[in-house]
Structure 1
Amino acid sequence: MEKGELSVNELVLIGVGGILGAGFFLASGIAIHTAGPIIILNYIVSAFIMSQVFYALSQMITYKPVEGTFRVYAEEVLGDIGGFLSGWVYWTAGVFIMSSEVTASAIFTKYWFLKTPLWIFVLFYSILVIGINLMGTKNFGEIESWFSTIKIVSLFIIVIVGILTIMGFFTKTPTIGIKNLYAHGGFAPHGIKGFLGAMLMSLIPFGGVEVVAMSAVKTKNPQKYTPIARKYIVLFLTILYISSITLLLMIIPWDTISINESPFIKLLSFTKIPFIASIMNFVILTAALTTMNGAMYAVTQVLYSLGQGRFAPTFLTKKTKKDVPIYALALSSFGLFIAVILSYILPKDVYEYITSATGFVQFFNWIIILYTFIKYKPVMGNTSSSKKEWFTIMLIGIVLSSTLLTPKQSVGFVGGIIILLIIFFLYYIIKKLNLFDVW
């Protein structure tokens, strides 16, 4: 995908495609189960956090469109350690995102094949996405645009079906409407602990703005198109997420929602429409796979950029005739096979474990992006206050710390800390051995 190949419409659709995935369709069930109806407020806070990180990225891209985007900016103002940490932390988060999405895809597929082991589907989808990426990125924008359109239409269908269900159409059982938001233990049945404990799972559906940053430099006019795309993506996702979650909770009592299936499939099962649940399950499966495919593209490009900056071995910059960084793709694929192993060992809890670790590493990278933006402002000649950026960093810190309130998510917290310490340790070892100058 060469510079100038993407239009602003394709950028918006790639953004939606990269962000809208299993993190919303499946993780929302975990978030609702943890917090109850107050999860609506969680999504509002999460939308604010995402909008601030997206704003920081769009401002830096508008000033200096460059491949590698946030990694390059971090290196420029924070030095080698900034470029190394930003790149490798994002790569690690991206690998976890792929693992999370491929696990979710397998869970969605088990809707039709209950007796088939989870790991078989995880392995199949891993091989499928690797194969797609080996074909090259020439048609990446067009493919992602089509699949993003499918995701958007599916969410609109969910919202429309939700509204009609509340009005009394399509229902097999009586609905309660707005009373459902407080009739089962109150609006916040688990109090502040439930609200905080659900923050990570409510923020995860907004993750993926980095994919937009990677793609923005491929547009005809990054300075013009990036801010436009940001506004549309933030507005669109915020409205659709909050409206669909609110309608869902008005129809289905929150305490009947399972953490092992998409709550939206449960919603559609309430209707009398033949095969609607299976059709939507297929659409959601497609959403997860395309998000996984977008993540694979992004992490491969970041690893390629790390190789160019000598923050990784230069052999990772080797490309095939189809312009695919083959060794970067191979290394990025390694995480998928870890997901295969985990889905074999821990099939019941693997999604929440991987997703919580994903969120921790991914949102730590958001802190790096925001801090980079604060330090980059003088370079850009931007004299505005950084209070919003510091406030957002504080909110992300609260989100990450709150994972300790939930046993399964605390595993992800510990795993995320270990991963970050390993990356820090590797930086100092590599620097001490002067490997940055020789590989």
Structure 2
Amino acid sequence: MEKDNLTVNELVLIGVGGILGAGFFLASGLAIHTAGPIVLLDYAVSAFIMSEVFCALTEMIVANPVDGSFRVYAEEALGDIGGFLSGWIYWTAGVFIMSSEVTASAIFTRFWFPRVPLWIFALLYSLMVLGINALGTKNFGTVESWFSTIKISALFIITIVGILTLMGLFGRTKEIGLHNYFSHGGIAPNGIKGFFGALLMSLIPFGGVEVTAMTASKTKKPQKYVPIARKYIVLFLTVLYLLSIGVLLGVIPWYKVSTKVSPFIKLLSFTKIPYIDSIMNFVILTAALTTMNGAMYGVSQVMYSLGKGRFAPTFLSKLTKRDVPIYALLFSSIGLLIAVILSYILPKDVYEYITSATGFVQFFNWIIILYTFIRYRPMLKKKNPSYFECQKSGFPIRPWLTIVLISIVLLSTLIVPKQAIGLLGGVLLLCIILVLFFIANKFDLFDKW
């Protein structure tokens, strides 16, 4: 099977599927409660950050489309430590993201089957995602495309329902209206602290652009289609997120938005549609499974790249006839199994701290990607001066500005107690990965593998 087998439409849907997860449907309520209506600015800043990271990735991918993408670029631009850190940081964060999504999927499924133990659903979904990824890139792309279509359509319908509710089609109450943006304490009822406190929660729904980067090298004509896909992905997500949150704030006062269940269920309740809870639960379940599926693809590709690049045992770089890194996939599945077991053994709050720490680690990797881009771009231009330039102006100011913004987002977690603990956990994970690098380097394990 040839590698370049994904169409531009599949790449767009994979990109949206890897980014639009259950986190947006569930965590948006927490972000709104923290910031109030000014949360729209939080999401706008997050959209800009995601766009700039994606722009940097796109430019490097088009100039040098290779398996492993950003990890390979980090190694070439920053040396062994860059390749090792970028790969293992992404893999660690991805495994914990998968475990949180599969745990969430099991909880969503128990909505219909409350007597079935959670671990049964978690096991079934893990096997399902493992099977999908074992089928190869083309089949992975097809499944992701279908899942993504469901999520995009659902969010689009939710937004339309919200607009019609604002117009009074489903009945009008005094609480519904544009005055919700200015009443109840103003645009920023919790002040600047609320704005900064919601930054991480608004950036998390934009995480996952790395999966698109890794599938892009398997796209037909990357130079032509990858830039097109990037524009559509950024446009879709930015418009959908800002419009849906904006409509939600107009229908429901910010302080009444639920932080326990998806706030969009409350919005849809105005339509009096039968079984709306089950419909919304299915949409969120689909979102969680798609994110988990994309994360599994991403971590197995990175583990394959690590094995190929001397930073993990070489047997992990073995491919099947379907172009699947089967041992890297199985190794990542073991990591998923351990993480799922931890999710059931550890107290709920402790596990929440671990998953929030992976959010910190994931965005720290964005800093590595941007710094790699700053160092790597001059090297690429020497090799191929005519290659596609995403950042035709503003280099290197734009990537440096984005690095500063991501740093502000990460430091803003110190304002929120639970997020602050996640920050400390993320720093600890980074230190562990750094120590492992120096140990492996000291004992020449890179050459022995």
- What amino acid is aligned across from residue 420 of structure 1 in structure 2? L
Q: For residue 417 of structure 2, what is the aligned residue in structure 1?
A: 407
- Structure 1 residue 355: Cα displacement: 4.0
1:419 corresponds to 2:411? no
- Asked if structure 2 preserves the Cα contact closer than 8 Å seen for 1:33 and 1:255, the reply is yes
Corresponding residue for residue 186 of structure 1: 186
In the TM superposition, 1:255-274 aligns within 5 A as 255-274=255-274
**Do structure 1's residue 151 and structure 2's residue 142 form an aligned pair?**
no
Equivalent residue, structure 2, for 1:162: 162
Aligned residue pairs, count = 439
C-alpha change, 1:338 and 1:258, in structure 2 (3 Å) is: farther
Q: Deviations over 1:2-25 (max 9, x none)?
A: 422111111111111111111211
Q: Which residue of 2 aligns with 1:10?
A: 10
CA distance in 2, matches of 1:370, 1:278: 41
**CA contact 1:70–1:369 (8 Å) conserved in 2:** yes
**Shift in alpha-carbon separation, 1:355–1:172, aligned structure 2, 3 A:** farther
Amino acid at match of 1:430: A
Q: Secondary structure at the match of 1:26?
A: helix
* Higher alpha-carbon deviation: 429-438 or 166-175: 166-175
- Structure 1 distance, partners of 2:126, 2:349, is 19
In 2, are the aligned partners of 1:159 and 1:243 still within 8 Å (CA)? Answer: yes
Deviation at residue 418 of structure 1 after TM alignment? 0.8
Is the partner of 2:37 in helix, strand or coil?
A: coil
Give the drift of 1:322: 4.7
Letter in 1 for 2:15: G
**Partner residue of 2:289?**
289
Unmatched runs of 5 consecutive residues or more in structure 1: none
Question: Identity across aligned pairs (percent)?
Answer: 73
CA RMSD, Structure 1 to Structure 2 (Å) = 2.2
Output the CA distance in 2 between the equivalents of 1:421 and 1:338.
21
Q: Deviations over 1:27-74 (max 9, x none)?
A: 212212222221111000000000100010011111111111111111
Which structure 2 residues correspond to residues 357-436 of structure 1 after superposition, within 5 A? 357-381=357-381, 385-436=395-446
Unaligned runs of 5+ in 2: 386-391
Task: Name 2:302's counterpart in structure 1.
Answer: 302
Q: Which residue of 2 aligns with 1:241?
A: 241
Q: Does the 8 Å contact 1:265/1:277 carry over to 2?
A: yes
Which amino acid in the other structure matches residue 9 of structure 2? N
Deviation of residue 307 (structure 1)? 0.2
User: Contact conserved, 2:175 with 2:253, CA < 8 A, in 1?
Assistant: no
Q: Residue deviations 1:386-439, cap 9 Å, x none?
A: 111111000100111111211111221111111111111111110110011111
Q: Describe the SS at the equivalent of 1:90.
A: helix
Q: Quick check: 1:6–1:220 contact (8 Å CA) kept in 2?
A: yes
What letter corresponds to residue 222 of structure 1 in structure 2? P
TM-score by length of 2: 0.92
Answer yes or no: is the 8 Å Cα contact 2:34–2:190 preserved in 1. Answer: yes
Asked whether the 8 Å contact 2:95–2:339 carries over to 1, the reply is no
Partner of 1:100: 100
Whichever residue aligns with residue 369 of structure 1, its letter is I
Match for 1:96: what amino acid? F
Task: Name which of structure 1's ranges 101-110 and 407-416 shifts more when overlaid on structure 2.
Answer: 101-110
- Structure 1 letter corresponding to 2:265: I
Secondary structure of the residue aligned to 2:170 is coil
